[in-house]
A and B are shown apart, each in its own frame.
Chain A
Amino acid sequence: MPSQFFIPDPEGQVPSAEGYFGAFGGKFIPEALVAAVDEVAVEYDKAKSDPAFAAELDDLLVHYTGRPSSLTEVPRFAEHAGGARVFLKREDLNHTGSHKINNVLGQALLTKRMGKTRVIAETGAGQHGVATATACALFGLECTIYMGEIDTERQALNVARMRMLGAEVIAVKSGSRTLKDAINEAFRDWVANVDRTHYLFGTVAGPHPFPAMVRDFHRVIGVEARRQILERAGRLPDAAVACVGGGSNAIGLFHAFIPDRDVRLIGCEPAGHGVETGEHAATLTAGEPGILHGSRSYVLQDEEGQITEPYSISAGLDYPGIGPEHAYLKDSGRGEYRAVTDDAAMQALRLLSRTEGIIPAIESAHALAGALDIGKELGKDGLIVVNLSGRGDKDMDTAARYFGLYDTDATVEADASATGAEIKGDAK
């Protein structure tokens, strides 16, 4: 029986053997890591065509993760989106609360096949870290998670979850103390401990084969969503919308729709305080081609190739790079990317909470904010699928501070009973 949930790219057209998606991708890594990265590529190629691997992963995805994830129509939310129909792909309902588990389980199985006993990973919002710590607990692997110091503060709940699961969490104090610095530190660890350690990379960036492999593990999102929307709405959507940090949940949703030329693929990047302020992490909107963390893609950098410090209220999107396949989709015109500010994302977070009873992650709220605009552009006949990549529990401290929801705050809102029909600009 063919695999139901592990569905690598059947076209296999990109990347090239050298890991290039058009002009982007490749393998810009120190010599010390070449053998290890090559080993991952060889093992993944073997695993991909091994029915036993697919069967084991399928079993986990069904009975552990809870796939397939639901596709939920959100009509009360959609009233604010120009009347277009909006469906959410509920990756927030996966075990551990985000899409990240799809990739983590695949790579954890690969780690076992390579005979490695230790896993390291970076994390921004902590969702990839929690998923990795979870898989390591499940498989009995030693686990170290690198997380920027700023992120350990704004995502403290996830730090506690990782430690509860038995992982060591190291707060990274270098650079901007966010996701990119966590990746730097994870690479340093990997170089020193590569014999027994797999770097379980969490997004569709990094050196080949990570962009293609991580995409393949997340492809199930779009495969399911495509089938579900055809069943539910009787047609393909006008747009598939997702937030984009490194780009894993977005490529997961987009990929199965790439051959459907009438489906717009729209990525929502974090505009932070506004792209024009310079305080943002909108890499495809404002970046230039360059090399960061092992591949060529768009990068936020100065004119001399120094990486500039990104900013987003969302720890998971606060990254100055982007997966090379997104760069390829952008340059080929198949993908569209727009920037969503902190404020717009937070308003969308509250709107979904109050109209549908679903609290999204701040990351995913960027996609929801994008969908509100896209719905208005499409009008009443529009049909949109949004990837709800994660749930918002981890963000409640940030959200409570943003909206003044703590009793100690002077600005406890009087509109707690609001249906969301009128979301006021009362925050910040």
Chain B
Amino acid sequence: MSGAASIGGNIQLLNDTLAAAKAEGRSALIAYLPAGFPTVDGGIEAVKAAFDGGADIVEVGLPHSDPVLDGPVIQTADDIALRGGLKIRDVMRTVREAHEATGKPVLVMTYWNPIDRYGVERFTAELAEAGGAGCILPDLPVQESGLWREHAEKHGLATVFVVAPSSKDARLATITAAGSGFVYAASLMGVTGTRESVGEQAQDLVRRTKATTDLPVCVGLGVSNARQAAEVAGFADGVIVGSAFVQRMLDAPDERAGLAAVRALAAELADGVRGGA
């Protein structure tokens, strides 16, 4: 157990970053990149490239053997990372080095079993110590989240819950009351992956979510280009992009080209969230 002297996580930096984007009259750009993909060092460089291109916040994925909420693109990246021997300590190093190099907020996105197995106290203490800002836990429903939230709060980490178009209003209120940092609104019913269009359900979900909370509401799933980012930025506090970054890395002939592609996509999307398309 880390005692009271433990280093606090960066939830405040996350809150300040989202507030600053709002003060500029724009949405924040949030990028997702899996740790360990294509290698641990390459993954760290990819996070830095996303920040360099204009991302305000990055979610570092903790690759899982059974990513039931991910489409084929992120499954492929997870497979590559795990085959490369990725460990949780590598995820922590990714968070630490990306945050230290940029001073920007870095979250971890993970399925629940790795944390359950690793130990909630150990995980939250290490993530806070690495400079992490919080966690997104897409398969941990709010009613099972009590233990996590207790430790996350103690270590200054945000708990970002996912809401879905199928979430009823009463449930949205329960979820947003328990969450912190921001709310992750899934734009559609489905797994991660790029889509042609981000449907009207996203706008409706953001409206219904905002009716229950003052937390920023950021939209993810399906967004892959500046036009979509601009559209979502019209009604959401943040735009979350994952698979499109991973796809650019998978398509690139080598790591250097992959990093350049990540930087370029982040710049394009950063224009998008500022209304350019």
- Contact across chains for B75 and A304 when beta carbons are under 8 A apart: no
| A33 to B175 Cα, complex, angstroms | 14
Chain B residues contacting A303 (CB-CB under 8 Å) are 117
- Chain B interface, DSSP helix/strand/loop, else mixed: loop
| A29 to B140 Cα, complex, angstroms | 7
A278 at the interface (CB under 8 A from B): no
Of the 9-residue stretches B65-73, B96-104, B238-246, which lies at the interface with chain A? B65-73
Shortest CB distance A69–B (Å): 35
| A35 to B205 Cα, complex, angstroms | 15
| A303 to B115 Cα, complex, angstroms | 11
- Contact across chains for A30 and B138 when beta carbons are under 8 A apart: yes
Assuming the contacts A31-B167, A32-B186, A180-B66, asked whether A305 and B71 have C-beta atoms less than 8 A apart, the reply is: no
Chain B residues contacting A293 (CB-CB under 8 Å) are 66, 68
Shortest CB distance A302–B (Å): 8
- Contact across chains for B190 and A191 when beta carbons are under 8 A apart: yes
Interface centre among A26, A193, A195, A291 (most CB of B within 10 A): A291
Shortest CB distance B165–A (Å): 8
- Chain A interface, DSSP helix/strand/loop, else mixed: mixed
Number of interchain pairs (Cβ within 8 Å): 107
* Closest chain A residue to B114, Cβ basis: A305
- A30 touches which of B114, B117, B162, B168 (Cβ 8 Å): B162
Shortest CB distance A57–B (Å): 29
Chain B residues contacting A27 (CB-CB under 8 Å) are 141, 143-144
| A191 to B167 Cα, complex, angstroms | 13
- Contact across chains for A194 and B144 when beta carbons are under 8 A apart: no
| A328 to B88 Cα, complex, angstroms | 30
| A77 to B29 Cα, complex, angstroms | 69
A28 at the interface (CB under 8 A from B): yes
Per the 8 Å Cβ criterion, residues 118-159 of A in contact with B are none
Q: How does the 8 Å CB contact mask read for B218-255 relative to A, with 1 for contact and 0 for none?
A: 00000000000000000000000000000000000000
Q: How does the 8 Å CB contact mask read for A19-41 relative to B, with 1 for contact and 0 for none?
A: 00000001111111111100000
Total B residues in contact with A, Cβ cutoff 8 Å:
38
A301 at the interface (CB under 8 A from B): yes
Per the 8 Å Cβ criterion, residues 293-310 of A in contact with B are 293, 296, 299, 301, 303-308
Shortest CB distance A94–B (Å): 31
Chain A residues contacting B168 (CB-CB under 8 Å) are 35
- B116 touches which of A174, A305, A306 (Cβ 8 Å): A305
Shortest CB distance B160–A (Å): 12
Interface centre among B144, B168, B171 (most CB of A within 10 A): B144
B13 at the interface (CB under 8 A from A): no
- Contact across chains for A307 and B189 when beta carbons are under 8 A apart: no
* Closest chain A residue to B140, Cβ basis: A28
Shortest CB distance B221–A (Å): 10
Q: How does the 8 Å CB contact mask read for B118-138 relative to A, with 1 for contact and 0 for none?
A: 100000000000000000001
Provide 10 A-B residue pairs closer than 8 Å at the C-beta atoms, listed in order of the A residue: A28-B139, A28-B141, A28-B144, A34-B167, A180-B66, A184-B66, A293-B68, A303-B117, A307-B65, A307-B113
Apart from the given pairs A30-B162, A184-B68, A195-B189, 13 other A-B contacts in the complex at a CB distance below 8 Å: A27-B141, A28-B144, A29-B139, A30-B69, A30-B139, A32-B186, A34-B171, A175-B65, A188-B68, A301-B113, A304-B88, A307-B66, A307-B113
Report the 8 A-B pairs with minimum CB-CB distance, sorted nearest first. Answer: A305-B117, A305-B114, A32-B164, A192-B190, A305-B113, A306-B65, A35-B166, A291-B113
Give me the interface of B with A, judged by CB distance under 8 Å.
64-69, 71, 75, 82, 87-88, 112-118, 138-141, 143-144, 161-168, 171, 175, 186, 189-191
